[in-house]
Structure 1
Amino acid sequence: MSEGVEADSGGTTDGSPLVLGPMLRYVDETSASIWVETRDAGTVVVRAGGDSWSARTFGAHGHHYALVEASGLEPGTRREYSVEFEGARVWPPRDGEYPAPSINTLHPDRRLRMAFGSCRTSVPHDQRGHRTHGVDAMRSYALALASGDEADWPDLALFLGDQVYADVTSEEMKDFIRARRDIEEVPGPELKDYEEYAHLYRLAWSDAANRWLLSTLPSAMIFDDHDIRDDWNASQSWRRKMEATSWWHGRIVAGLGSYWIYQHLGNLSPDQRAEDELWQMVAGHDGAAELDLTDALDALADRADRDPASYRWSYARDFGDVRLIVVDSRSARVLEPAERSLLDEPEMEWLDGKMRGGFRHLLIGTSLPFLLPAGLHHVESWNEAVSTAPVFSEAGGRRDGGARRGMWGRTGERVGERLRQGLDLEHWAAFQRSFHDMARMAMEVADGRRGTAPETVTFLSGDVHFSYVSEVERDSGSRLVQAVCSPIRNPLPRFMRFFSAAMAYGPAAPMGAAVARSMHVPDPPFKWNGIKGPWFDNNLAVLEDTTGGLILRWVTGVVRDGDHEHPGLDTVAELTLGERSTPDAV
């Protein structure tokens, strides 16, 4: 191996050609994808044992990236790896305090173990940062894995939205913005362009412990609103307000383009990448100069925003007899009042094709909880009726068509819209057509009408900044469960905790149901109850498929003896979802 510049022991990139990464992304039984951002154009080599794999960088907006596919691996093996750039070793850090990064391939007989969570702000991990934002649960989990305190490693970390906050920026991010432009001019301290997104991702993923974790634990991701902006696509009114600004088009193009680079690309399997129009340009480039993807990337982002059906951000993966479906619940919305839907028709058809039995567990990752606490669910369905007066058929979720004013007229529309945006009332419950469609599909799977019923149909979500578990009341078939882990690091203010708890307990559910019925909102097709929570700690959840059922555990970081640099890890909650009798497939 050639001698050269190496990353320093703290994992920073000062003086190193490696700007960000390596990040271990898609991993299956025989391959692994390693993503990096480099300072310059060149060739990236990944070495593991006597094998090596390489990729040339491609460029976008003056930045340089590579995705190296390590292929021909053996199932169920662990191999330490290193990264070189232009012949010089750049990872792992010299004299680093963390174990060497490794590639751990899946084994067909191993049951799935997966971490998940959402909502993580990028502020320093010191006493001040802990006082304002709490301890980063992801970083605490990384430290526990590195020290051996957390012995059982996950196969995957699933990040369910708000990996970065483009609209609520830290002081470090504001300093970067001030150095580039007048922060008093629109869009102010919010992100404006790709360069600012690139810096925000660097702030989010450069801490030494988290950087090590992401280099050795495979990850999958999906966006939520703050990756772009609060209430992204909440309503037609919100959309029109944004499009009337001078800066929104630049924001959405930069946000979706950077999302493709930093998050989406690593979600894809080698076969899925081969079908991606941008990756085909990267893979097919054979010129001497680095491929500049800027124009094509911006064009795709612009088109995906204007015509969501032109590009799919959702994806699905099978881990043996566990299926994971990750749903884009933000960009593919239909916002016209008469056709309001969380997913457009092509996206719903895709989801319908993936919602199948024949698996031990069916996991649906959606950043927005499908089953909110019942009181909050009814408030959101009421709000949709007041704001847009959806028209339902007797089937429950299908519109007969025809736009109407809100149930309380123009004044009600205005009040309802203010409440919708002010209180974030734009989850599945606020898109009743989509809620009923999803409920129907989930019940058909759980009843064995789409193949043999799984042990569980489990929704994994974040967004709401508190964690809980709810379950649908059922006497037979699959257990139908909602598990929420939020935030990883961004706790709710105290006064909002009271409101959230009130919506989860006591008379909120029957009172909310009565109010929703007064607006002619159909009742949900089933009842559900909270079986754990809510709790408001910063959390990371760990899901494990075992012979005794699906084990769910939430962990949080805890500062002990004033050591803010090395917080410990405590368990907040744990439960097991055991199997019950299931009907035969129909």
Structure 2
Amino acid sequence: MGEQTMVTNKNDTVMQTSDEPIVLGPMVRYTSECEASMWVETRDAGEVAVITDGGRWSARTFGAHGHHYALVILDGLEPGQTYGYRVEVNGEQAWPLADSPFPDPFFKTLLHSRPTKMAFGSCRTSEPHDAKSNRKNGIDSLRAVAHEIARDPHDERWPDLVVLLGDQVYADETSEAMQEYIEARRGLDAPPGEELKDYVEYAHLYRLAYSEPAVRWLLSTLPSAMIFDDHDVRDDWNTSQTWHEKMNATPWWHERIVGALGSYWVYQHGGNLSPEALADDELWQLITSHTGDDELDITAAVDAFAERVDEDPTTYRFSYTRDLGESKLIVVDSRAARDLRPDHRAMLDADELRWLDDELRGDVEHLFIGTSLPFFMPEGLHMLEALDEAAAEGTWGRPAAFLGEKLRQVVDLEHWAAFSDTFFKVSDMLFEVARGERGRAPRTITFLSGDIHNSFLSEVNGGEELTSRIFQAVCSPIRNPLPRHVRALQAMIGKGLAFPLRAVVERTSVRTPSFRWRTTHGPWFDNNLAVVEVTGDGLDFRWLTGEIRDGDLEHPHTRVVSDIRIEGDGESKRLDTWQPLGIRILTRVAHLRR
């Protein structure tokens, strides 16, 4: 990025890059066999054009809070083709950069006969990449994978899509660079202090997250799908009605949530959608209906949208799907779509649950469900969350309810198990798909998740009547490791206490799942980016971490943490796995106890 200056536009003070027409991006977002979308944030208002050897597509920018954006839709493309491209802003070439050390950007359209291969992960802090930050935060796995791909960008082993499953930005745990911006803009003394205040600060945080040169190049080449999690807004976002009431009572929360949801639509969600889905989107309809030569400013509209969605989540859906050919990806919003009323408590409100019910169908070889929060937590943690929900909702009286609410906020006990009614409803749908009652049963059904800052693979044992194998694959963090004592505690509760906690649950009125699942591989706690690949008769999962070789901080490499092959005969083979000794011992003890 070039030299930066502070620019005031109406009530919004923003940081502008003075010498590059493109401030952030370009990002290849949606791709199908014949279409693609390209997102950019620009320095100036005007026209953005994407140019390949076969065509030119353009769009006018739209504005929000003093920033300028464009989402260019490319159509008439050929299936399975690689397209090199360049981007012009107001007739000036803006991408690739003239002095870029990375290969020229390109993107691939889908080919439905080509097996799915996608990367996934969550939880990435935007910290420097020097030795000091690497010691504290570990090596950025997304950056390491970017450098690895750049060394041989057309190698067939690379993924065709990256799915970022939440906490792309940390609005509540800000870096020194973000705090410097806040200090220069409004100071750090008044609430919310070092945390984000509004849309403009979110815009700067997104710039910090996506402008690192290798990551920027990767996202200009590899299509991406995204969904938020709590830290994109604030830790424990929508944990419970009590949490929601507490936050609404603060003088700064309203502006924060409006900025969070509005910027999320602009920076993440719009690019998730296919052109057909975009055509039905209210904000996109406003943007595309503008016919004047001047730039449309959607500030008022996007703020009103965000305010309404926060007040009534049923008025908008952030969940979406992508057709990958032999596979289908369903990305589920497990944060904003919650119903927090104590008597109706649900991970997904009624409308969202009906949508998921309609989308959970067979007739594909492999069904992937992306949700930031793991659906199948390690069994010990699942049982603990189920017990805590019952306590917090008053099953055992007011003192237990008080302690249960405190515990679920302090320890983050707010995953699917803590919304038990939704967990069992979705489980029923899932098993209907796996039994072939909703079309031909897929070979595999896999939840892709993040959030909990460790990685593992679990498999469900639902009985012989299931045709599909059901998995939970978790990859977290991309860059934000847990302290070592917390790692050991998570491993102990998740596995070592699974049997006694299930026994406790079975002796209460809390509903216990009739089926079992177990963690077959993991947990491991490295910074990771995972890749799942559809093979001839199954799946191959690989977790990749970054490493520095010969002291070269600028060009990290990747190392395989775990490579697990799921084969059609019901077997799963661990080809290469590395774990810290302490975690291996805890894992072994847990298996012996079972």
| TM-score of Structure 1 vs Structure 2, range by shorter chain | over 0.9
Matched residues, number: 555
How far residue 407 of structure 1 moved from its aligned partner, in angstroms, is 2.6
**Which residue of the partner structure matches residue 230 of structure 1?**
235
Letter of the 2:548 counterpart: V
SS in 1 for 2:531: strand
The alignment status of 1:452 with 2:440, answered yes or no, reads yes
Q: 1:577 aligns with which of 566, 584, 589?
A: 566
- 2:146 and 2:231 mapped to 1: Cα distance? 24
How far residue 566 of structure 1 moved from its aligned partner, in angstroms, is 1.2
Letter of the 2:100 counterpart: G
Q: 2:475 aligns with which of 474, 479, 485?
A: 485
Q: 2:556 aligns with which of 567, 574, 580?
A: 567
**Which residue of the partner structure matches residue 468 of structure 1?**
456
SS in 2 for 1:179: helix
> Percent identity among equivalent residues?
56
- 1:505 and 1:319 mapped to 2: Cα distance? 34
How far residue 361 of structure 1 moved from its aligned partner, in angstroms, is 0.7
TM-score w.r.t. the length of structure 2 is 0.92
**Which residue of the partner structure matches residue 365 of structure 1?**
370
**Which residue of the partner structure matches residue 585 of structure 2?**
none
**Which residue of the partner structure matches residue 100 of structure 2?**
96
Letter of the 1:579 counterpart: G
The alignment status of 1:297 with 2:285, answered yes or no, reads no
Tell me if structure 2 keeps the 8 A contact 1:162–1:225.
Answer: yes
Tell me if structure 1 keeps the 8 A contact 2:26–2:38.
Answer: yes
Letter of the 1:481 counterpart: F
- 2:419 and 2:254 mapped to 1: Cα distance? 25
Structure 1 range deviating more: 341-350 or 105-114: 105-114
**Which residue of the partner structure matches residue 207 of structure 1?**
212
Letter of the 1:525 counterpart: S
Write the deviation string for residues 380-437 of structure 1: whole angstroms up to 9, x where unpaired: 000001100xxxxxxxxxxxxxxxxx13322111111111011000000100001101
How far residue 575 of structure 1 moved from its aligned partner, in angstroms, is 1.0
Write the deviation string for residues 352-392 of structure 1: whole angstroms up to 9, x where unpaired: 0000111101111010000000000000000001100xxxx
Write the deviation string for residues 455-484 of structure 1: whole angstroms up to 9, x where unpaired: 111110000000001111143411111000
The alignment status of 1:543 with 2:543, answered yes or no, reads no
Structure 1 residues 57-206: aligned runs within 5 Å: 57-148=61-152, 151-206=156-211
Change (3 A) 1:338 1:420: same
- 1:22 and 1:351 mapped to 2: Cα distance? 31
**Which residue of the partner structure matches residue 441 of structure 1?**
429
Structure 1 range deviating more: 569-578 or 370-379: 569-578
Write the deviation string for residues 494-528 of structure 1: whole angstroms up to 9, x where unpaired: 1110111102323x012111232344111113101
How far residue 216 of structure 1 moved from its aligned partner, in angstroms, is 0.3
Tell me if structure 1 keeps the 8 A contact 2:362–2:442.
Answer: yes
**Which residue of the partner structure matches residue 404 of structure 2?**
416
RMSD: 1.5
Tell me if structure 1 keeps the 8 A contact 2:116–2:326.
Answer: no
Write the deviation string for residues 3-44 of structure 1: whole angstroms up to 9, x where unpaired: xxx989xxx955112100000000111111010001111111
Letter of the 1:252 counterpart: I
- 2:507 and 2:251 mapped to 1: Cα distance? 41
Letter of the 1:443 counterpart: F
- 2:51 and 2:281 mapped to 1: Cα distance? 26
Q: 2:37 aligns with which of 33, 39, 42?
A: 33
SS in 2 for 1:505: helix
Write the deviation string for residues 57-111 of structure 1: whole angstroms up to 9, x where unpaired: 0000110000111111111111110011111101101131111111211112111
How far residue 548 of structure 1 moved from its aligned partner, in angstroms, is 2.9
Letter of the 1:418 counterpart: K
Letter of the 2:164 counterpart: F
- 1:470 and 1:537 mapped to 2: Cα distance? 18
- 1:118 and 1:47 mapped to 2: Cα distance? 32
How far residue 299 of structure 1 moved from its aligned partner, in angstroms, is 0.8
Structure 1 range deviating more: 526-535 or 151-160: 151-160
**Which residue of the partner structure matches residue 22 of structure 1?**
26
The alignment status of 1:272 with 2:277, answered yes or no, reads yes
- 2:430 and 2:567 mapped to 1: Cα distance? 18
Q: 1:522 aligns with which of 507, 511, 536?
A: 511
Letter of the 2:257 counterpart: I
SS in 1 for 2:185: coil
Letter of the 2:478 counterpart: I
Long gaps (5+) in structure 1: 1-5, 389-405, 582-586
- 1:245 and 1:131 mapped to 2: Cα distance? 36
Long gaps (5+) in structure 2: 4-15, 571-594
- 2:57 and 2:187 mapped to 1: Cα distance? 44
The alignment status of 1:240 with 2:228, answered yes or no, reads no
Letter of the 2:112 counterpart: P
**Which residue of the partner structure matches residue 398 of structure 1?**
none
**Which residue of the partner structure matches residue 546 of structure 2?**
557
Letter of the 2:561 counterpart: V
Tell me if structure 2 keeps the 8 A contact 1:385–1:519.
Answer: no
**Which residue of the partner structure matches residue 330 of structure 2?**
325
- 2:342 and 2:285 mapped to 1: Cα distance? 38
- 1:130 and 1:136 mapped to 2: Cα distance? 8
How far residue 50 of structure 1 moved from its aligned partner, in angstroms, is 4.5
SS in 2 for 1:365: strand
**Which residue of the partner structure matches residue 10 of structure 2?**
none
SS in 2 for 1:21: strand
Structure 1 range deviating more: 379-388 or 329-338: 329-338
SS in 1 for 2:128: coil
- 1:480 and 1:336 mapped to 2: Cα distance? 31
Letter of the 1:292 counterpart: D
Write the deviation string for residues 131-152 of structure 1: whole angstroms up to 9, x where unpaired: 1110000000000000028652
